[in-house]
Structures are given as C-alpha cells and as structure tokens.
Amino acid sequence: MAVTPIRCILLDIEGTTTRISFVHEVLFPYAREHIGSFLMTHLDEPRIQSCLQDPVLGAPTTPVRKEDLPPLVSRLHQWIDDDRKETVLKTLQGYIWAEGFEKGVYQSHIYEDVLPALKRWKEKGLELGIYSSGSVDAQKLLFGYTPYGDLTSFFSYHFDTHMGGKKEKSSYEKICHAMGRDGAEVLFISDSLDEVRAAQQAGLTAHHIQREGEAKEGSLASFAGIF
C-alpha cells in the first residue's frame, strides 16, 4: 500500500519552536502588567470594544465604559495567572505584545535549529503552518521579531483557538479542511503528548518533541533529521 507523502508541516510554538519560559516569564508578565492601562488608553477602538463585549467576559454595559474596566481587568489578570486559553484573552494579549515588540522591549526566543529547518523544508517544497493557543496576530509578532530577523514569510498558514482546543481531534480536522489537505499529508510537531494524540486521532502524522531535558523514548530532541 502506497504511503501518502507529507506535504505540510504544522508546528506548535511553546516548547516546540520557542522556549516556554520566554512566553511565561516575558510575554505573560508584560501583558499582565500593562493590560489595565492598555484597555484604558484604547477603550474607544472598535477592536477593543469587540473583545470586551465578548459574552465570556460578562461586561455590564455595551459599549464598555471606563468605570466597567476594574472587574474586567481583574478577571483577565486571573485568566493570565491560570493560563486560560480564552480566545478573547489571547487576542488582547496579542495587541499588548505588539506594542512591546514594536517598542523593542523584547525579541522572541527561537531555538537555534528552527531557522535551518524552515529553510530546509521550504527548499523541499513543503508548506509550513503554525497552530498555537496564542492568537494569529501574536504568532506573527513572535516570528516577526526574532534575533534572526522576520521569519513570517516561511509560513503559509496560521491557526489559533478559533479552530478549537489543541487537545481536540476536531480542531485538526478543521485545520486540514482549511488547508485543503488530507490528514495523512500533514505532519504536526508539538511538545504536548495530548496534542500529538489528538492530531493522530484526526489522521495526521504527529511527532512529540521534548526540548528541555533528555528526550523520552520515541520523542524528538530537535528538528534535525526531519526531512
């Protein structure tokens, strides 16, 4: 029986292309510290009102007023502390991180083997995509401000929690449909075994990668040797 060739590589971010500590020790604290002042400054912008009027936040008025912000900010702080994957939080974090990147407050961390792998895969004609719990805007920022320059041109696809949870089989089915690919044509790489299993259940080829510490049996330690 013929084996379907891989046509697309789909990558996780945290713990896969980027050190987890960069997200949790740099980006999350920056968003937590600045979210109150950011919302106050940008409250009248349609993109911010759209986020704050999401029913999941439970804002008391429409449009949201300045006096409504304290309890909403407290809720968002708690979600950051709990690492909640709420789409509205991820969207707002992306807006705040954009300011930090643009001001030069920080640069992304990217593992040393990522850029050589991206170049190698593109040269082989493979399509590349990202699937992360961080918003699409945040993904583009992370790959746009790296020590190696702007890497966004390598990626044809970006997916976030609008496609569903990363531990859900249906999310990967939706992604394959969006790319016009059969699951067997897509290789997903993640540091999360639960995500790898969900992708496999959806018919994708999936590899588990363990960046920090010794890789478990059957896991990858780097992108070296993948195509």
Peptide bond into 63 cis (omega under 30): yes
CATH top class, domain 22-102: mainly alpha
CA 122, chain centre distance (Å): 21
C-alpha 92/C-alpha 118 separation (Å) is 29
Residues of the chain with CATH 1.10.720.60: 22-102
Per DSSP, 141 falls in state: H
- Condensed to tens digits (0 to 9), the pLDDT of residues 57-66 reads 999 989 999 9
CATH pick for 8-18+109-208 out of 3.40.50.450, 3.30.1280.10, 3.40.50.300, 3.40.50.1000: 3.40.50.1000
Per DSSP, 14 falls in state: B
Residue 2 has pLDDT above 70, yes or no: no
Judged by DSSP in three states, 154 sits in helix
- Condensed to tens digits (0 to 9), the pLDDT of residues 112-143 reads 999 999 999 999 999 999 999 988 988 999 99
Residue 192 has pLDDT above 60, yes or no: yes
Residues of the chain with CATH 3.40.50.1000: 8-18+109-208
Calculate what percentage of the chain has a pLDDT beyond 70. 98
Q: Tell me the pLDDT of the chain averaged across its residues.
A: 94
pTM, two decimals, is 0.86
